[in-house]
Amino acid sequence: VQKPFPENFLWGAATAAYQVEGAIEEDGKGISVQDSKNFSNYFHDTTVTSDHYHRFREDIALMKTLGLKSYRFSIAWTRIYPDGETLNPAGVSFYNQLIDELIKNNIEPLVTLYHFDHPQSLQENFGGWYSEQMITHFLTFAVTCFHAFGDRVRWFMTICESNNVVLYPDLIGGVPAGIDVEVWRFQVSRVMALANARVIQSCRKLLPQAKIGPCIGYAIAYPATSAPQDVMAALNEDEFRTFYPLDLLCLGRQNPTVVNFFACRGLDIRLSPTELEEIKGANPDFIAFNYYQSDVAKACPDESEEAQPGFNQEGKKGGFVYPRFPGLYAGDSNPYLERNDWDWEIDPVGLRIACRKLFDRYQLPLMITENGLGARDTLANGEINDAYRIDYLQKHVEQMQLAISDGVPLLGYYPWSFIDLMSTSNGYNKRYGFVYVDREDSDIKTLTRYKKASFYWYQRLISSNGAL
Ligand code: BGP
């Protein structure tokens, strides 16, 4: 017997500005670190993407048909502060229109303040998140958003996947020349923790009725075998990759294992008592987490050779480069799980485990802000039969219900993505949406929207409040 989904459960769907909006030079928008890495005829090109900037009314009408209770989108920092310094009222006006349209259609906005796209000028001027100067800029931007949108937006997320961006520096503009990557990682973690804390506190002051939380990407770690060294490796992965930033923001402490690991290697990552005090005061309302897959960790002795983690851009199974962190853990494949075309392991039960681990450790309500299956969809006679996506999502929803039955307070579910958009690592080759967009990486085509089979499945699921 299972508990039903709560009455007010936020059945949502998610996108991010640079992956869906396009219009990168319109109405005063500045160039972001995402725009500056545009490649011609390659998978990363933000200029048009799904043209949501011009078609948001049509897209919101589709959300309405889908029955969405909530829509998670991000605010492009460079529309509001094109160069990081000067306010651009036209950018504020765009999001006002978008938010008004959502409210008019009874769709609750969930705003991500930062989704990998800070102004390129801040990257060039002082190295972006590597510098503390970023905190003031981010706070100014966030406060502007609170003032401008806080009368209609009740849900905010601060920084998307602050844990993964430190692992993959290219997601946020890269490591400035001459800086050691390990030093960069801890500096960025520190700056992001302080930025998170200040933004959460100022939201609390300005918008006492709003709810705000940090966001992480959580690939839970399984030990490769029952060998104690592998169990230790899995614990290392969880602590270093996921718990470190959450311990800071939600428990107000630096994870001791992480601090001591680096202390033994000559790197002092301790924050000052004042910084810790400030972070301790953040008290987020919930934890947002993105879940696609689980990981496997095996022992990785100190002396083994380091390989940087990499994305499999070829889409060939077996082509994934597993990360190795000497002294901590090395990634491996899981023989018990199916994978998508990019070697991401499909693990619905892992979602329940993730919910249990996070709630047990932090005792905060949880929001699943991304979950989905990247695939190569085919449009045939105006239809897309993405049965594989329905299967993936349905199994994850079943596990969410089990987690709720376990007693985990889940606030909402935002599959990635509402509509096809430019995948971070694979452009339009890898689609996630309930809505298909007629375009390829190198050919913008008509950009016409088509409802996929998963659209109708999700519509039924929402209308029955998750009763499968
Ligand atoms: C998350 C990001 C999203 C999205 C997703 C899927 O980490 O927050 O922006 O892109 O991953 O990743 P990909 O597009 O590489 O398949």
Please report, for the domain that includes residue 308, its CATH number: 3.20.20.80
Q: Is residue 267 part of a domain?
A: no
Q: Which domain holds residue 162?
A: 10-252+278-463
Q: Distance from the CA of 424 to the center of ligand 1, in angstroms? A: 5
Give yes or no: 161 in active site. yes
Q: Is residue 126 part of a domain?
A: yes
pLDDT-derived band at 322, boundaries 50, 70, 90: confident
DSSP assigned state of 30: P
Q: Check residue 302 and give its pLDDT.
A: 79
Residue 87 lies in a domain: yes
- Any atom of ligand 1 within 6 Å of the Cβ of 374: yes
CA atoms of 288 and 283, how far apart (whole Å): 14
**Mean pLDDT confidence for 87-108:** 98
**Edge-to-edge strands, sheet with 329-332:** 221-223, 295-298, 329-332, 324-325
Question: Does 399 reside within a domain?
Answer: yes
**266 found inside a domain:** no
Q: Do 353 and 199 touch, CB atoms closer than 8 A?
A: no
Give the pLDDT score at 310. Answer: 47
What token pair was written down for 373?
A: 């299956």
Residue 114 CB less than 6 A away from ligand 1: no
Residue 41: which pLDDT band, with cuts at 50, 70 and 90? low
Residue 433 near ligand 1, beta carbon < 6 Å: no
| Mean pLDDT score, 327-333 | 92
Rounded distance, CA 393 to CA 399, Å?
Answer: 10
Any domain includes 263: no
- Which has the minimum average pLDDT: 39-53, 206-220, 401-415? 39-53
The residue from 21, 237, 239, 370 that is catalytic is: 370
Q: How far apart are CA 348 and CA 35, in angstroms?
A: 34
Determine the pLDDT at residue 318: 52
Q: For residue range 6-28, what is the model confidence (pLDDT) as tens digits?
A: 999 999 999 999 999 999 999 99
- Cβ 16 under 6 angstroms from ligand 1: yes
Using a pLDDT cut of 90, give the percent of the chain over it.
90
Q: What is the mean pLDDT of residues 367-388?
A: 97
* Of 101, 108, 161, 237, catalytic: 161
Q: Could you give the ipTM of this predicted complex?
A: 0.98
Paired tokens of 21: 């909006």
Q: How far apart are the CA of 174 and the centre of ligand 1, in A?
A: 17
Q: How confident is the model at residue 209 (pLDDT cuts 50, 70, 90)?
A: very high
Residue of 44, 370, 376 best suited for mutating to test ligand 1, as the one with most atoms within 8 Å of CB: 370
Atom of ligand 1 nearest to the CA of 164: 7
Which residue's CA is minimally distant from atom 2 of ligand 1? Answer: 424
CB atoms within 10 A of CB 204: 17
pLDDT of residue 436: 98
Q: Using a 6 Å cutoff on CB, does residue 72 contact ligand 1?
A: no
Phi, psi of 295 (to 5 degrees): -120, 165
pLDDT reading at 305 higher than 80: no
Measured in Å, residue 86 CA sits from the centre of ligand 1 at: 29
| pLDDT confidence of residue 306 | 52
Return mean pLDDT, the chain. 94
User: Sign of dihedral through CA atoms 463, 108, 393, 395?
Assistant: negative
pTM assigned to the model = 0.96
Q: What is the pLDDT of residue 343?
A: 87
What average pLDDT score do residues 370-390 get? 97
Confidence check: pLDDT of 230 > 60:
yes
**The predicted structure's pLDDT at residue 313:** 41
Does the CB atom of residue 343 touch ligand 1 within 6 A? no
The reply to whether 341 falls in a domain is yes
314 is catalytic: no
**pLDDT tens profile 135-187:** 999 999 999 999 999 999 999 999 999 999 999 999 999 999 999 998 999 99
Domain count, the chain: 1
Mean pLDDT value of segment 434-448? 96
In a domain, 301, yes or no: yes
Q: In 333-374, which ranges are E strands?
A: 366-370
Determine which of 178-187, 222-231, 250-259, 306-315 has the lowest per-residue pLDDT on average.
306-315
Q: Is the CB of 421 under 6 A from ligand 1?
A: no
